Structure 1
Amino acid sequence: MATLYSVMDTLGSSTVEMPPLMHIQLVSMGCVTLDDITFEHVSEETLESLTEFLDELVETEECPIDADVLYSTGVLTLNLGEVGTYVINKQSPNKQIWFSSPFSGPKRYDFNNGTWVYKHDGICLHDCLSDELSKIFKRNIDMSMLAYGKSNN
């Protein structure tokens, strides 16, 4: 059964009918605006996988004192005590994930090519967070294997 999807191209937006498999392929290529249901699924899966990873990370001995991870109603908070606090949350109206870092400041990530990308520098959310936490924990931290942590390119 074909469904209508909004497709963005260089000329603007248009609505086309296509089978669901084609929709999945186009979403992974970054060509389709995510519908509400797909956005909710992808953003929840992203935040849940980050939460699980960060929960394990704060249990390590390299972790700053008083570190804590909290995930509730679409908002993930990583408190690293004196180092600072990270906040990662979904913004359903914009279909974005918003990121606030004590080091790089606020960023808004769009889903593109199977991952969350900051359009101003092309760096994905997982890479940015991995780089910053690697410096804090003084070891290599790689989040690319988490849900939507790696581009489909």
Structure 2
Amino acid sequence: MPALRAPHHLKFKRGFSEDLRVVSSSLTENDYHHVADATMEVMAEKLEAYVEESDVDGGDVEYSQGVLTVKLGPKGTFVVNKQTPNRQIWLSSPVSGPFRFDYEGGRWRYSRDHRDLLLLLQEEIGGLVGRPLQLE
């Protein structure tokens, strides 16, 4: 999935590398919903096709009201959900635990180590299923 472009009226902050990036805390609620919903919908579509094509035993993907649940049978369940008050997307992973992602520079990134939401899901789900996953 290409980086989503932020609307022109968003506030920007200078990062350590001197690049300008959108910070999710500066997103208006409407802008947050636009970016987060687009991300969640693309992930839901791609993960649904992936789980079905991979014939995961007990596999299922559900997306409703800002919550994406990816069940991989005995391998575990991933839950990705919107957190509107914080302007974040949260992930609960059976592999690496909980994460809170902020929207920065067109990507959802974990603030502590700048891990990317889509890349983390690709690595962990693909690793559990044993088949490459492409969410971008």
TM-score, reference length from structure 2: 0.82
Q: Which residue of 2 aligns with 1:30?
A: 22
- Tell me, what secondary structure is at the counterpart of 1:120? coil
Asked which structure has the greater RCO (Cα within 8 Å, sep 6+), the reply is: 2
> Do structure 1's residue 103 and structure 2's residue 90 form an aligned pair?
no
Q: Which residue of 2 aligns with 1:47?
A: 40
> Do structure 1's residue 91 and structure 2's residue 100 form an aligned pair?
no
**Larger proportion of helix:** 2
Which structure 1 residue ranges, 4+ long, deviate > 6 Å from structure 2?
none
Which residue of the other structure, out of 103, 106, 109, is the alignment partner of 1:114?
106
Quote the Cα distance in structure 2 between the aligned partners of 1:70 and 1:39: 21
Shift of 1:66: 1.2
Q: Deviations over 1:66-119 (max 9, x none)?
A: 111111110000011101110000000000000000011000000001010001
Which residue of the other structure, out of 65, 69, 74, is the alignment partner of 1:73?
65
- Percent identity over the alignment is 38
TM-score, reference length from structure 1: 0.74
Size of the aligned set, in residue pairs, is 124
Which residue of the other structure, out of 90, 114, 129, is the alignment partner of 2:121?
129
RMSD value, Cα: 2.1
The answer for unaligned runs of 5 or more in structure 2 is 1-7
